[in-house]
Amino acid sequence: MVKRYNVDKQVLKDMVYGCLKELGENSSVYYHSKFGEKYSHFTEKGEKAVVAILQDFVHRILETEEQEYQERKKQDTFDALKGSSEKSD
């Protein structure tokens, strides 16, 4: 069984990759120089877009981590209760 938070993590990873790739391919937000990284840079519009995107992703990542933590706590509680009921039988 695939846990929901695992799927969410992979989706988030794919989204981050996809967003960065799209930004890199958009000349209005990123200037890519064939002469190398030293001459490539985000435009002012691109810098604002990156900050907004990263703020959104950081929030989503932290929510996903919290969901994962809550799922682990719930599973630990169920396992503990299951172990207690087996001992009392």
CA separation for the pair 64, 72 (Å, rounded): 12
The pLDDT-based confidence of 83 (bands split at 50, 70, 90) is confident
Contact 12, 62 (CB under 8 A): no
- For range 54-78, the mean pLDDT: 90
The reported pTM is 0.66
pLDDT in tens, 11-61: 888 988 999 999 999 999 999 999 999 999 999 999 999 999 999 989 988
The pLDDT-based confidence of 68 (bands split at 50, 70, 90) is confident
In this model, does residue 1 exceed pLDDT 50? no
Contact 5, 68 (CB under 8 A): yes
CA separation for the pair 30, 46 (Å, rounded): 6
